[in-house]
């Protein structure tokens, strides 16, 4: 799709929704930096004034956002969890600034909570063993611990909306490790 990444800064939110909802996006190519720019432009427009959107428009925004991230991952690969983290942080920001809405999937606090727990790169036991001596570890081990810390921050951000979640005890156990992580 020629021009997919052109003039991203000129699009309003509806323009982004139309662009990333187009069927061609599923087959689009592009470099990681182009997809990062596209995701950044989309979230910038979304965060500029999120409150006045109707539930119907929010559902369209959510579908377009999911399509953009899926196309980015297909085209550029996972990029070290870049797309996952962008999705989790956007959802956390929306929950904090707009609040949960039961009929809008983008505002379901269980999604970022569960996805963050599921994406943890190591067990709690391994994290607890490695965290206190992180300065002695290999770079990949340190990066894994840093990813744990990032994911715990997302869970902490959405926690006020999921206190009745069945995985709440798991979240609490992980949060006890947060202070020891690099």
| Closest among 93, 104, 105, 100 to 153, alpha carbons compared | 93
- Percent of the chain at pLDDT > 90 equals 89
The token duo for 171 is: 């979240």
Average pLDDT over residues 51-66: 93
Query: How far is 6 from 57, CA to CA, in rounded Å?
Result: 24
Q: For 100-134, give one letter per residue: b (16+ CB within 10 A) or e.
A: eeeebebbbbebbbbbbbebbbeeeeebeebbeee
Q: Say how far apart CA 178 and CA 182 lie, in whole Å.
A: 9
Lowest mean per-residue pLDDT among 15-24, 43-52, 79-88, 114-123: 43-52
- Name, in order, each residue with C-beta under 8 angstroms of 111's C-beta and a sequence gap of 6 or more: 91, 105
pTM for the structure as a whole: 0.92
User: Poorest-confidence range of 22-31, 62-71, 143-152?
Assistant: 22-31
Residue 1 has pLDDT above 50, yes or no: no
Q: Residue 112: pLDDT above 90?
A: yes
Query: What is the DSSP track for 148-180?
Result: HHHHHHHHHHHGGG-TT-TTHHHHHHHHTTGGG
Kindly state the average pLDDT of the residues 91-109: 94
Q: Mean pLDDT, to the nearest integer, of 92-113?
A: 94
What pLDDT does residue 51 have?
A: 74
Nearest C-alpha neighbor of 147 from the set 95, 94, 52, 79: 79
């Amino acid at each position: 799709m020629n021009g997919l990444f052109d003039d991203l800064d000129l699009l309003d939110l509806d323009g982004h929704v139309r662009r990333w909802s187009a069927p061609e996006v599923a087959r689009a190519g592009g470099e990681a930096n182009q997809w990062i720019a596209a995701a950044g432009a989309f979230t910038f427009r979304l965060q500029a004034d999120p409150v006045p959107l109707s539930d119907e428009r929010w559902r369209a925004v959510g579908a377009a956002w999911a399509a953009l991230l899926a196309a980015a991952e297909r085209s550029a690969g996972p990029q070290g969890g870049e797309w996952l983290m962008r999705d989790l942080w956007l959802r956390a920001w929306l929950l904090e600034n707009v609040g949960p809405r039961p009929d809008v999937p983008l505002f379901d606090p269980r999604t970022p909570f569960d996805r963050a727990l599921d994406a943890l790169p190591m067990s709690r036991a391994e994290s607890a063993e490695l965290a206190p001596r992180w300065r002695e570890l290999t770079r990949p081990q340190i990066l894994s611990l840093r990813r744990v810390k990032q994911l715990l921050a997302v869970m902490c951000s959405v926690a006020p909306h999921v206190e009745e979640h069945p995985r709440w005890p798991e979240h609490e156990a992980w949060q006890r490790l947060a202070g020891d992580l690099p």
